[in-house]
Structure 1
Amino acid sequence: MRVAQPRSLLFGVGLSLALLCSMASLARAEAEPEVPGSGGLDLADLKAFTEAWARIKEQYVEPVDDRRLLEAALRGMVAELDPHSAWLDRARFEEVQAQATGHYGGLGMRVSPQEAHLRIESLTPGSAAELGGLRAGDRIVAVDGRPVAGLDTDRLSQLLRGEPGSRVRLEIERGPRAERLAMELTRQIIRRDSVHRVDLNDGLMLIGIDSFQQSTPAELDRALAWLDGDPSLRGLILDLRGNPGGMLQSAIAVADRFLDEGLIVRAEGRGPENQEEYVAEAGQFRSDLPMAVLIDGETASAAEIVAAALRDHGRATLIGQTSYGKASVQSIWPLPNGSGIRLTTARYRTPSGQVLEGSGLAPDLPVPVAVDDPLDRELERAIAWLNMQLEANATP
C-alpha cells in the first residue's frame, strides 16, 4: 500500500520556492526595466514549477527527499548559465575556500589529467603521497573505487582532497607494463606555495606560478627580493604552464610587479556601472632583464590575464602552445545553508582589446606538443631565446 505524502507539506515547500522566485522577479523588475525577450516570469510559470515539484514528490517511482530536489534545482539553475558558473554544495564550497588560501587536506602531489588516468607529475617532499610509496610517473586509474576516466578537473580534485586524517584508496598503474597496485593513504594538511624558483645557471632564473591564490603576490615578492640581490642575474622565465587561474586580484598584482604603467585588464560586467579597468603602478622589477613567459593548453583565466598583459606591453615573449581560452571572471558568495554559488560576473579584454574566450593566447614562439618526450622543449626554447637576446644586446 502506498501512503501519499501530505499535500500540505508538498505544496508548502513548492509554494515557498514559488514565492521566492516571484519575489526575485519582482525585485528585478523594480530594480531595472523589463527588457523585451528577457524571459520574465508570469503566474503560470510559477504554478508550473510548484506543480512539477509536487508531481515529482507524489508520482516518481522512488521517494525523493526535499533536500535532494532543492539541490538539484539550484545546481541545474546555475549550470544553465555557462560552463563556469556553478552551485557549490557545502563540501565543494569549503574546498574552494581552502584552494584560495592554499591550505587544504590532501596528499601533496601534482597531477595532470590524461584521457584514462591521472599522471603524477611530482611529489611534495615528506608528503602523504611520497611517504605512502607513490612515484612520479605513476598513473592513478581509480579513487575510492571510482574510475577517474572522463571526470572533469573539479570532480577529480574533490575525490583526492578531503578532511586531514581521512583515508583514500588509490588504484594505480606503474611502469611500461602497467603493473596494477592498490594503496591506501591518509590525507594531511597541505600548505601549498604557489610560487617556486629554479636557478637555471648562467644567470638565468625561472619563476613558476602554479595558481593565483591569496598568498601569491607576497610569495612572488619574496622570490623577487631574493633575485634582486643577485648581481649575476641576466634573464627571467615566468612559467605559467598548467596554471588554471585563480583570484583575479592576485593575477593583477603579479602583472603589476613587471609593469610600470598601462592597462593590465579590462573587466566588463553587467551594466555601465560595472566596467573596471585595472592599471599598473610604477615600480616594476628589473625592466632591464629580457623575459619569457611559458604557456600551454592548460594556462587559463587569471594566468592568461598575466601573460597577455606582459606580451601586450612588450615586456615578455610568450613561448609554448596556445593557452586554454577562458575570458570570464567568477565571483563566489556563501549561501545561508553552508553551500555557495559561483557566478560569472564579468568578461575581460586584454590590453590590446582581445577577447580570449574559446581561442586563447597564441604564443610568439610556438613549440609543438611532444608526447612522452622526457625533455622540456618549451624551457629549452625559452633559454635559447634569452641567450639570443643577451647576445644581441651585448653586440656593440
Structure 2
Amino acid sequence: MFNKAGAALLTAAMLAVSPAALAQDDGGQTSENGDTYRQLKLFGDVFERVRANYVEKVSDQKLVESAIRGMLSSLDPHSSYLDKDDFQDMKVQTEGEFGGLGIEVTMENGLVKVVSPIDETPAAKAGIRAGDLIVGIDGNPVMGMTLAEAVEQMRGKKGTDITLTVRRGDKEPFEVTITRDVIEIESVRSETFGNVGYVRVTTFNEQTQPGLESKIESISEDLGDDLKGYVLDLRNNPGGLLEQAISVSDTFLDAGEIVSTRGRDNEDNKRYNADAGDMTNGAPLVVLINGGSASASEIVAGALKDHGRALVLGTRSFGKGSVQTIMPLPGHGAIRLTTARYYTPSGRSIQADGIHPDLKVRQAEVKPIENGERRREADLRGALENGQNGDGENGDGAANDNGEGAGSAEAEDAEEKAAQKAARLQEDYQLSRAVDLLRGLTLFQSRVLQN
C-alpha cells in the first residue's frame, strides 16, 4: 500500500526533475517556490488517495502518464505526451509511411475535428472532409476521450474495419465504415493543364522537397517555352516538418524572410531566410488554399503572398500558427510541447487567424445555362461582309492539331486524356479558376510587351 512516505518520495523525485525552477535566490523567489512545493504536495496527496482507494488497482505508471497527459493537453490542443509507441509512430509518419485512416485531427469542444484527409487514403476515399467532427468511434462516444485516446482507437491492423460517427455542419450525424490500411504518402504529385503546370503537395515530410524539385523539372521539360506558370495546390494539406516548409518556399523565392518564430525565451526567436535562386525563374504562380491547409502549408502560402511572389486563391486557411518541439524523454518516449508562434514575413501571426486569400473563391459546382442560339450581326439581312481575307481565327484554315493520323491509337489516347483533364477542371472549380487566372495573366503580359 502506498503511504505518505511514498508520496513524499514521489514529490521529491518530481522536484528533482526541475531544480532550476525551485532554486531560491535573493530576488523574492522564496514565496513562489514555496507555493510550488505546496502544489506538488497536493499532487502527491491525490496520487496517494487514488492509488490506495480507487475501485480497481491501477499501476503507478498509468497514473503518472495520465497525469502528464492531462497536464499537457490542458495547455493547448497540440501539446501532448507521446509514449514509446506514439513516439515511434510519429517518427514513421515524418518518413512518409504509417498505418491508419489517413486523417490529420485535432480536438475541438471535446470532439475530434478533422483538419484534413490525406489524398488517396481510406479516409479520403470514404468521403471524410476537412471540418468534419468525429463524435463516435465504433459506437463509443468521443466526448470524454483525450485526443491521444481517440487516435489510439482509430489505429489498428491493416484490413480491419472501423465505423466513425461523423457530424458535418448542421446535418444529422451519419456513420462511415472505413477499412484501415498502411498509409504510403506520395507527398508531391503533378500534371499539366494545357500550358499550365500543376503541383499538388499533400503533406510536408522528408520526401517533399526532392519530390517538388523532380516535378518542377518534369513540367519544365514537358512544356518548355510554352509554360505559362504554375498552380501550387496546398488544399487539405495538414502541414508537417518546418524545415520542409522553408525549403518549399525557398524553391520559389530568390531572397527575403520566409518565416519567423517567436517564443517565451529569446532562444526560441528565429528567422529563416531564402537563399538566392528561384527554381521556376519567376514564372507566374497561383497558390490554392482552403480550411484544411494548416501549419507548414500556411507558412508557404504566407511567405509567397507577403513577398508578392504568388496570388493566393481559395478560402481562409486553418490557422495553426504554433510551433511544437519534440522533447525525447530517455526510456519513456517524448513530449510534444508548444514553444513558439509562427509569423509571416510581414510580421503577422498565423495563429487562430490563418492566411486570407487574395482572391476568395469557394468550391462550387458550375453548370452551363442553356439560352438557345441568339441572332448575330451576320444573320441580319444585308449585313456587310467582314472585309478581311480568310475566315479569321475560327476559319477553315485553322490547323488540325491531330494531323493526318487523328484516328490512330495515340491520338485517341491523347483525346481521352484531354477529356479527363477537362472533366477534372469542370469538377474542381477552384482549380479551374486558378488555371484561367494564370492564362489571363500571361496573355495580358504578352500583349503589354507587344505594345
Using the size of structure 1 for normalisation, the TM-score is 0.80
Match of 1:198 among 153, 174, 191: 191
Match of 1:26 among 13, 19, 27: 19
Corresponding residue of 1:45:
39
Q: Distance in 1 between matches of 2:140 and 2:434?
A: 40
Corresponding residue of 1:383:
435
Corresponding residue of 1:219:
211
1:63 Cα offset (Å) = 3.2
1:94 Cα offset (Å) = 2.3
Q: Structure 1 residues 385 and 83, CA, compared in 2 at 3 Å: closer, same or farther?
A: same
Corresponding residue of 2:228:
234
Q: Structure 1 residues 123 and 324, CA, compared in 2 at 3 Å: closer, same or farther?
A: closer
1:310 and 2:304 equivalent? yes
Corresponding residue of 1:266:
260
Gaps of 5+ in 2: 167-172, 368-425
1:392 and 2:384 equivalent? no
Note if contact 1:110-1:123 (Cα within 8 Å) is conserved in structure 2. no
Corresponding residue of 1:209:
201
Q: Structure 1 residues 293 and 151, CA, compared in 2 at 3 Å: closer, same or farther?
A: farther
1:352 and 2:346 equivalent? yes
The amino acid of 1:291's aligned partner reads L
Gaps of 5+ in 1: none
The amino acid of 1:21's aligned partner reads M
Corresponding residue of 1:322:
316
The amino acid of 1:197's aligned partner reads S
The amino acid of 2:8's aligned partner reads L
Q: Structure 1 residues 233 and 170, CA, compared in 2 at 3 Å: closer, same or farther?
A: same
Say how many residue pairs are matched: 374
1:36 Cα offset (Å) = 7.5
The amino acid of 1:83's aligned partner reads P
Q: Structure 1 residues 141 and 29, CA, compared in 2 at 3 Å: closer, same or farther?
A: closer
1:287 Cα offset (Å) = 3.0
Note if contact 1:244-1:299 (Cα within 8 Å) is conserved in structure 2. yes
Q: Distance in 1 between matches of 2:208 and 2:197?
A: 18
Using the size of structure 2 for normalisation, the TM-score is 0.71
Note if contact 2:342-2:351 (Cα within 8 Å) is conserved in structure 1. no
For the residue of structure 2 that corresponds to 1:252, the secondary structure is: helix
Q: Distance in 1 between matches of 2:77 and 2:48?
A: 29
The amino acid of 2:187's aligned partner reads S
Task: Provide the identity percentage.
Answer: 36
Q: Distance in 2 between matches of 1:340 and 1:116?
A: 22
Q: Distance in 1 between matches of 2:251 and 2:31?
A: 43
Q: Structure 1 residues 156 and 227, CA, compared in 2 at 3 Å: closer, same or farther?
A: farther
Note if contact 2:288-2:313 (Cα within 8 Å) is conserved in structure 1. yes
The amino acid of 1:251's aligned partner reads A
1:387 Cα offset (Å) = 1.5
The worse-fitting range, judged by mean Cα deviation, of 340-349 and 57-66 is 57-66
Q: Structure 1 residues 233 and 244, CA, compared in 2 at 3 Å: closer, same or farther?
A: same
Corresponding residue of 2:76:
82
> What is the 5 A alignment of 1:1-396?
5-7=1-3, 11-12=5-6, 14-29=7-22, 40=33, 41-106=35-100, 124=120, 137=127, 144-146=138-140, 158-162=152-156, 167-170=160-163, 185=179, 189-200=182-193, 202-230=194-222, 231=224, 232-370=226-364, 375-395=427-447, 396=450
Note if contact 1:256-1:264 (Cα within 8 Å) is conserved in structure 2. yes
1:142 Cα offset (Å) = 6.6
The amino acid of 1:205's aligned partner reads G
Q: Distance in 1 between matches of 2:235 and 2:242?
A: 17
Note if contact 1:327-1:349 (Cα within 8 Å) is conserved in structure 2. yes
Q: Structure 1 residues 94 and 206, CA, compared in 2 at 3 Å: closer, same or farther?
A: same
Q: Distance in 2 between matches of 1:256 and 1:249?
A: 11
Q: Distance in 2 between matches of 1:85 and 1:248?
A: 17
1:61 Cα offset (Å) = 3.8
Note if contact 2:112-2:147 (Cα within 8 Å) is conserved in structure 1. no
